[in-house]
Amino acid sequence: MPKPCFFAALFCCAFSASGASGEPPKLRLGEDVLPVRYSVDLTLIPDEDTFSGVIEIDLDIRKPADVIWLNARSLTIDHANLIASGKTTVAKIQKGGEDFAGFVFSSAAPAGKSKLTAAN
């Protein structure tokens, strides 16, 4: 993936929560999960078209969610986890067409402050 696309995607990050259906958003993400702060650690090699890295996103989850959706066009996410209420939960990554990545949890992510970490 060209590097400029990643930065455009990163700064356009938005989130949405979904109930048990787990269906990706159709066009826009909702306001059930809001990003509060981003921390990014990237490894960029000038001669390569790809990169690797980790992003940590502090979230304000407004209502419990089985799935959290992220705008992720042209991003590859290999693994992710959520820290909420002092508990770390591994997320299963679910593709949502070309535009979205879903983070599916074994039990609903609780309302409140949390941290999502995703890496490739």
Q: CATH no. for residue 97? A: 2.60.40.1730
What one-character DSSP code corresponds to residue 27? S
The pLDDT assigned to 27 comes to 60
Given pLDDT bands bounded at 50, 70 and 90, which one contains residue 46?
very high
Mean pLDDT across the chain: 83
Question: Are residues 29 and 16 in contact, defined by beta-carbon separation less than 8 angstroms?
Answer: yes
Domain membership of residue 37 as a residue range: 3-119
Number of independent structural domains in the chain: 1
- Tens-place pLDDT, residues 50-100: 889 999 999 999 999 999 998 888 888 999 999 999 999 999 999 988 888
Task: Output helix, strand, coil percentages for the chain, rounded to the nearest 5.
Answer: 10, 55, 35
Compute CA distances 107 → 22, 45, 61, 86, 91, whole Å.
13, 38, 14, 15, 10
Residue 51 has a pLDDT of: 86
Distance CA 1, CA 32 (A): 30
pTM above 0.75, yes or no: yes
CA 7 to chain centre: 15
| Predicted confidence band of residue 11 (pLDDT cuts 50, 70, 90) | very low
**Nearest CA to 116 among 6, 13, 4, 3?**
13
Helix (H, G, I), strand (E, B) or coil at 38: strand
The fraction of the chain above a pLDDT of 70, given in percent, is 79
Q: What value does the CA radius of gyration of the chain take, rounded to a whole number of Å?
A: 14
pLDDT at residue 3 above 60? no
